[in-house]
Amino acid sequence: MTRRRVVITGMGLLSPIGNGLEAVLAALRAGRSGVRAMPSWADWKDLHTRVGATVEGLDEKAIPRESRRSMGRVAMLAASAAEQALAHARVDREMLRSGRAGLSIGQTVGSPAATELFFNVLRSEGVRSLKSTTFLQLMSHSAAANLALMFKVTGRVFAPSAACASSSQAIGQGFEAIRDGYQDLMLCGGAEELHVSTAATFDILGGTSRAFNESPSCTPRPFERRRDGLVVGEGGAVLVLEEREAALRRNATIHAEVLGYSTLCDAEHMSAPAREGMARTMATCLESAGLRASDVDYVNAHATGTLLGDSVEAQATLDVMGGAIPVSSTKGFTGHTLAACGAIEAIFSVLMMREGFIAPTLNLEEVDPACQGLRHVLELESRPVRTVLSNNFAFGGVNTSLLLGLPS
């Protein structure tokens, strides 16, 4: 079977550091954090973290009312990002109905706010008071299903739900569907909705940042000696992937190419990372593209600011990539946007390639001895970047790596 080349022709996102490509690009250049104080979280007993990374300025009414009725915030974030990406790619909407276009949109869970409302109404008022659309907002494939209906997509529809790896798996699924000839175009990405329940989930595991509640922009601190945990965030990001020759025929602007992809499981522990599994995923991603570590110009790390996760990832990255390639984690800017992070970070990587710079790991002042050996980026570097390895590692040992390159 002839494997077709897959390119990125459109990107859209809403993130804690801005909505749209230009706003995000400016924030990356300026080193501007999107982490904010969350004073309302003080109302929840025994919740220690008080910082989060929120999306500001989501225009819900820009989404058609008939589509919006069955969407929670998570699906609306995905829908808004998809509209941006389609406009950026200048895609004929009829193409989406052709059967040769599909989508893959990941999310961790359904809308937490809709879930909370569902059970509150059920408990206090009974079944007859529930809205018929509520389940459509809280189901775990809500974003994918709603976008398929909104855009009348009749091709393949995937809805990966693997927490931190969801949207990178979504991009990988779209890449494989086009590469192997099953689709010509795929909308790929993911979304996450910030809710106190997410903060509580990580808080009870001892994984959230709490030492910097009074100085939100000073956390998270990936790879840093004083890191004390992750900051939960939200966002939505969607990329338009196309078969290269089809994109050229319609004179689309090609922003980058998906060169390789791997997703593999540790099968060792539900929440603890495994060095060998991470390393194996990076290595097989390079193999899938026929490239060596020395061909990579930059590694966009998953690193979230947790004590164990960052050190294990640093060691695995060193095992495969060596210590000469620049490495940074952009979660210092956005916090951990969970199901959205893979797509957000893929877009960040494309922007950095396109503009010729590498954003630093924010708040990395003193590298932890357990994370040393890598070439950590401590301040913005202006330099050519042609190939990026972007990594995401999730609970359950679900690991993903994407290899992106400038168009050739």
Q: Catalytic residue among 336, 341, 371, 376, which?
A: 336
DSSP notation for 299-315: EE----S-HHHHHHHHH
Q: Report d(CA 308, CA 269) in Å as an integer.
A: 13
Taking CB atoms within 8 Å and a gap of at least 24, the contacts of 55-64 are: 55/14, 55/15, 55/16, 55/19, 55/194, 55/234, 55/235, 55/236, 56/19, 57/14, 57/19, 58/14, 58/19, 63/150, 64/150
User: In sequence order, which residues have a C-beta less than 8 Å from that of residue 104 and are 6 or more positions away?
Assistant: 144, 156, 157, 158, 159, 160, 169, 170, 171, 173, 174, 177, 186, 187, 188, 189
Tell me, yes or no, if 269 is annotated catalytic.
no
For residue 390, list its beta bridge partners. Answer: 300, 402
Q: Report d(CA 41, CA 230) in Å as an integer.
A: 16
Please check whether residue 280 is in contact with residue 264, taking contact to mean a CB–CB distance below 8 angstroms: yes
Beta strands in 342-397 (DSSP E): 357-358, 375-376, 381-382, 387-394
Q: Report d(CA 189, CA 81) in Å as an integer.
A: 9
Tell me, yes or no, if 336 is annotated catalytic.
yes
Q: Report d(CA 333, CA 94) in Å as an integer.
A: 37
Q: Report d(CA 82, CA 10) in Å as an integer.
A: 9
What does the chain come to in residues? 408
Q: Catalytic residue among 88, 141, 195, 302, which?
A: 302
Q: To which residue do tokens 């490239």 refer?
A: 291
| Residues annotated as part of the active site | 164, 302, 336
